Structures are given as C-alpha cells and as structure tokens.
Amino acid sequence: MATVEFRAVTKRFDDVVAVNDLSLRIADGEFMVLVGPSGCGKTTALRMVAGLAQPTAGEILIGDRVVNADSPGRRDIAMVFQNYALYPHMTVERNIGFGLRQRRMPRAEVQARVREVSTLLGLEDLLRRKPAQLSGGQRQRVAMGRALARHPQAFLLDEPLSNLDAKLRTQLRAELKKIHQLVPTTSIYVTHDQVEAMTLGDRIAVMSAGRIQQLGPPQEVYDRPANLFVAGFIGNPAMNLLPAAARSGVLTSGDLRMPSPDGADGEVILGVRPERLSAAGDGDARPAFDITVDVVEPLGSEIVVHGSRVDSGAGAESATITARLAVGAMPAAGERLRLAFDPAATHVFDAATGAALRSG
C-alpha cells in the first residue's frame, strides 16, 4: 500500500484541457472518490495514475516515487474497468491469476492467492468458467478479484458499477465497502454517481472542467458545498437554487424575506435542500414561498413534490422547486403549496462567482 499524489498535474488533448493543474494527495489506505459529470477529467486523472495516459505537465507519485516515466506494469497498481475487461479466452481462474503469473510468481502461490480472493468474493464455483458464461455481477466480482489478487499499491476503479442494474449496483456497492474495510488498500474510485461517491468515499473530490471544485469528507461536501457547482451536483434531488438579492442584512427573493448572512451584498443565489422544505403551517414564522405543484411522486416513505414558484419576483419566474415532504396530506398537481424552511439550514452563494458565502 502507498499514498498516491498528484502534483500540479495538467493533461491536454490537443487544445482541450482535460485535467487542469490538479494537486491531490491520497493517504495510505484511503478510499478517494473522484466524482463529476462526464468530461470533467476524472477518468483522465485515473488513467494518468495507471500510466495509460501521460500528464502534459506535473508529477504523479505512488509512495515516494515519481512514476511519470514508468510503464503501467511497473507501477504496481490494479485497475477495475467499467466494462470489466476480462480476458475472454481465459477461465476465471486464469483471469484472476494473470497478473501474478506475469510477475513470475510461483505456481503454488498464485493458486493460493486465487483461492483467497475467490473465497472472499464467492467465486469458488466459477473458477473454471469463461467470462462469457458469467452474469454481469459475477464478471464485476471477477474483475475485482483480479485486482485484489495482485495485492497492489493502489486500486483504481473506473465507474466499476455503472454497467450493472440498479439492484445489483446497490448490492455490489455495499460489497465494495466491505472489501475495503477488510483489505484497506489505497483506492481511487471514479464515478459520476453521487450516491456511490457519498457512500463509498473517505473523502470525495468533486470535479468539473478539469479542476477539483471541492475536496472533503462526503458529509462535509454535502453540508457545506463550496460553490454552486458542488451544491447542484451533490444531493439527489438537487438543491433548490433561488435567485435572490441581499441588501443591508436582508435577503429577498420575490416575496421571500430572511436575514442575510454577513458579507452577502447584491445578487446572490439562495440554496435550500429539498429535504429542508416543509409545508408551511398557519402563522408559520419561518421564511416561506409559494409554488404551483407540477408533479407529485409518492415514494412510500416520503413524497417528492416538483413545482414552480409563484410570485418569485423579477428574474426568478422560471425557478423550479423540488421538495421532499413527510407523508401526510397529498398535494395535487396544479394546487398551490406554501413551503417554509429554517433560515439557518440554507446556503447562500455569490451569483457572479458561484462561491459559497454561507453554508448552514
């Protein structure tokens, strides 16, 4: 096991900058998730650690060693690919042992390692099969096994669950977490799925346009998004963002009024998570606004209401609102609904720069 470090790494493809001056240190045994929309540079960053792409500038370190010039095979890392990349002409057993045999490990030791990981992953009965004879979940496990058997310095996982159906994805996500607890190897996990990022990562790095927008433990990123991009990307349904104005300590958005945080002045964006909204009671003192209900999604444990703001004031007519409400009175489409929230649980962003002015 080892640390993995990016030092001012930039990767350009012709005139496209995929990764822009990335600096990031992943601690020994840490599970780091790179999350972001497609094209944000997360996969490129991972491929540079693997040695499948060369940085245009900067250094990549595994342990204390700069590996820029090392071939992928010499970096002692293991990678799990989105499409598994199992060798179709080899049995499961040979797939798992391939990297070990390449390194000229004695046959008995290879067999012991293969046995070890196949027990861990429940693959004992599949060792003689070829990848084509396996289900998607089984293939994913074999791909994990091939990586685990190597006992590498670091695991690189490139959207390993995105080819699976929803149920299997949830199940394997939990398994991945369990495996990392059993075998705490330094891991870099690339995903566009923020649920995977939240559940798996010791820390997550939210990326956009080749840069890290925010780096931190998942809960911190969720609770205190550093900017509008992170606020909109992390959380499902996404945070409600309301155009607002802050003047002399008062923040207004349409008919909505609440105390403005320090330092906020001029055009701002008010962010409220859907679960922070609740139906306003009579004489509710909390800040509130009205929506016209468009769609209601009863989920059993809660109701998700999508609507559009009424009387939101200039520039905010189009704001759509999502609220997660407790099960109770079911609003109907077309109905008017007043939603209130605790001002302390809101986020305020500078409208021009997108930077967070306050996160509650």
C-alpha separations of 231 from 158, 308, 341, 359 in Å: 24, 20, 17, 10
Gyration radius (Cα) of the chain, Å: 24
266 binds other proteins (CB under 8 A): no
Rounded to the nearest whole angstrom, what is the least distance from the CB of residue 44 to other proteins in the complex? 14
**Residue 265 burial (CB < 10 Å; 0-12/13-18/19+)?**
middle
Residue 75 near residue 51 (C-beta atoms within 8 A): yes
Q: Which of 29, 72, 184, 237 touches other proteins by CB under 8 A?
A: 72
Region binding other proteins by CB under 8 A among candidate stretches 48-56, 198-206, 260-268, 337-345: 48-56
Region binding other proteins by CB under 8 A among candidate stretches 36-44, 94-102, 236-244, 280-288: 94-102
d(CA 323, CA 278): 7
Rounded to the nearest whole angstrom, what is the least distance from the CB of residue 180 to other proteins in the complex? 19
Where in 13-42 is the site for other proteins (CB under 8 A)? none
d(CA 186, CA 77): 10
Question: Which residue, 24 or 134, is less far from other proteins as judged by CB?
Answer: 134
Per 3-state DSSP, the chain is made up of helix, strand and coil in percentages (nearest 5) of: 30, 35, 35
Question: 341: Cβ–Cβ under 8 A, 6 or more apart, which residues?
Answer: 272, 276, 277, 278, 286, 287, 288
DSSP SS3 for 131: helix
Rounded to the nearest whole angstrom, what is the least distance from the CB of residue 105 to other proteins in the complex? 10
Query: What is the bridge-based pairing of β-strands 278-279 and 356-359?
Result: unpaired
Rounded to the nearest whole angstrom, what is the least distance from the CB of residue 110 to other proteins in the complex? 13
Q: Which of 31, 84, 155, 222 touches other proteins by CB under 8 A?
A: 84
Total site size for other proteins, rule CB under 8 A: 30
Question: Which residue, 134 or 337, is less far from other proteins as judged by CB?
Answer: 134
Q: Which of 2, 19, 24, 79 touches other proteins by CB under 8 A?
A: 79
Rounded to the nearest whole angstrom, what is the least distance from the CB of residue 116 to other proteins in the complex? 18
Q: Which residues bind other proteins (CB under 8 A)?
A: 50-52, 71-75, 77-79, 81-89, 98-99, 102-103, 130-132, 139, 146, 150
